Amino acid sequence: MVGRYYEEFPINLKTGEANLTQIYLQEALDFIKRQARRRPFFLYWAVDATHAPVYASKPFLGTSRRGRYGDAVREIDDSIGKMLQLLQDLRVADNTFVFFTSDNGAALISAPEQGGSNGPFLCGKQTTFEGGMREPALAWWPGHIAAGQVSHQLGSIMDLFTTSLALAGLTPPSDRAIDGLNLLPALLQGQLMDRPVFYYRGDTLMAATLGQHKAHFWTWTNSWENFRQGMDFCPGQNVSGVTTHTLEDHTKLPLIFHLGRDPGEKFPLSFASTEYQEALSGIAQVVQQHQEDLVPGQPQLNVCNWAVMNWAPPGCEKLGKCLTPPESIPKKCLWSH
């Protein structure tokens, strides 16, 4: 990320033209060619053309009906196609597992020109509603995963760690809790595994999903101050009592939605219903177990240091001192203004 971090690769903000995806692609192709004939390899290809400021190279600009964002998606699609074709040309496709997904839902604050769509799901990136947390996922492994299948397995990016170990014939470490599941039974045999997923914002457990039910313990989109400045994480999607601009506590009576019937999280179950009571009982048990097993971690980065993320969260300038970073990180603070 050094190139994008320091803006050393030009992105024309007026036209949206940038060659960065092609540079990423060439690096990937060269790496695969070097490695594939010699030894097993791992490639993490984190392309970012669909992240504002959205960009595409000249051959793709203006080629989609979706504007600049669509142009960027087309170039990413073309690039992945070239990588898959190379795997086939090198005759290693049947021994290579490829997984495509995203780190969060579309950033509706940048949409429609600079962001995607979350379809029926509520809100977008920066929230713990389904629009912020759900992503598509595609798995490709010729000769092992049959084409055209659809799995309803609920997965997490954390599962890729455990799944990768299984692919390599390794056992996960037993000296710690591992949150990720091995997805191979779902991908290869079509098995469905019931598992909880916990939705955090910072260190606050905002929601939890078990089966088709999702419970919100806290609701919040963003502050009224930011909202009035035009920052809208849920454009056109106001749901009374749900998409709140103040942090609302529902820990005593969580808001529960059935995501199968109501993927847009618009109609919370009645507190008095049998379905609500049964769903709450199941979710409460897995949350209690999760919190009992949770071991607080030592932060590895000083989030108030601009050198960490090129931004610092609100409030850092009010602390008046550095957060204490590990010894490996320079004790230096650059405050946000």
The pair of structure tokens assigned to 93 is 């496709």
User: 156-212 pLDDT, tens per residue?
Assistant: 999 999 999 999 999 999 988 888 999 999 999 999 999 999 999 888 999 999 999
CA distances from 260 to 152, 209, 263, 265 (A): 11, 12, 6, 10
Respond yes or no on whether the N-terminal peptide bond of residue 112 is cis (omega within 30° of 0).
Answer: yes
Only one residue has tokens 């999760």, namely 290
The pair of structure tokens assigned to 214 is 């999702």
Contacts 24+ apart (CB under 8 A), 172-178: 177/293, 177/295
pLDDT value, residue 314: 62
pLDDT value, residue 333: 39
In the chain, which residues have pLDDT < 70? 1-8, 299, 301-337
pLDDT value, residue 328: 44
Residue 264 CB coordination number (10 Å): 18
Supply the DSSP string of 276-302, one letter for each residue. Answer: HHHHHHHHHHHHHHHHHH--PPPPSS-
